[in-house]
Structures are given as C-alpha cells and as structure tokens.
Amino acid sequence: MYGTVILPNKECNYCRFEEDKINPIIQLGEKALPELEANLKKAQTEEEIVENLYIVDRIIENGARGCERLYPVLSKFNNTASPNIQTFLAGIYRKIKIPDAFGPLVAMLIRNAINPPEASFDANEEIGGAILDYLA
C-alpha cells in the first residue's frame, strides 16, 4: 500500500486516499502499469485493491494508453461482493471498454439486485452507467 485508505462509512460515502503518496505514481502514467499489475496480483485486503484501482482510474483519466492490458488482473475481482471494488471496476471498465468486461458488469448488477450490498452509496449507479456506455 502507498498510504492509508479510509473506506466509505456512515459519515463519508466515498473512499479517501493519501493523495500526496499516490500522486507520484499517477504522474508516471503508463510507466506505473507494471507495478500496479504486480500490486493487484498480490493484493489481499479491500484497502489494497481499492487503492490500486483508484490509481489505475486516475491514470486512465490522465490519458495514459495501454490500461486495457490490465484487464486479466482486474478481472480477478469481477465476482467481488464489495461495492467499493465494484464501483472502481465499473468506472475503469466504462473508460477502457474491454468487450470481455460487459458480462461481468451485468452479473454484478444482477447479484446486487438479488442481494443488495450494505453500503453508504449505491454501486449499481456506476455499474448501470458503465453498462449503458457499453450499449451506446
């Protein structure tokens, strides 16, 4: 982990990261992808996963190319019940539009409809938005 991660709770409905510790990685852009891939392969806690997904998302936002190559390691989290991980994955998939990610997004939405996760936000908003982007 690069810093402390605070997951959403009743007082705050979004994740908080130590921006000063992760911004240098984000600034590396494409050059950071091998390190992020390695981190995601060995990540075990929700905090580790979410932090690395946040960095990937920010790198994509900054216009880096090649992030779609991370799909094989990202896909290992497709069956998660964590709304935090689901939200970040949906956001990333929405931006990189890997065709293989469409099915897992639909599966996430269905699982959440059958067994709604307890969270201070609705992950289905991001998942549904990503699905709509795929269909557009």
How high is the mean pLDDT in each 10-residue block of the chain (136 residues)? Answer: 91 94 96 97 97 98 95 97 97 96 97 91 94 93
* Alpha carbon separation from 9 to 2, 34, 53, 120 (Å, rounded): 21, 31, 19, 6
DSSP state of 53: H
What is residue 119's predicted lDDT score, i.e. its pLDDT? 86
- For 33, other C-beta atoms within 10 Å of its C-beta total 19
> Which DSSP string do the residues of 77-99 spell out, in sequence order?
GTT---HHHHHHHHHHHHHH--G
Residue 53 CB-density burial (10 A; 0-12 exposed, 13-18 middle, 19+ buried)? buried
What is residue 136's predicted lDDT score, i.e. its pLDDT? 87
What is residue 105's predicted lDDT score, i.e. its pLDDT? 97
Range of the domain at 85: 5-135
Write down the pTM of the prediction: 0.94
Q: How many domains is the chain partitioned into structurally?
A: 1
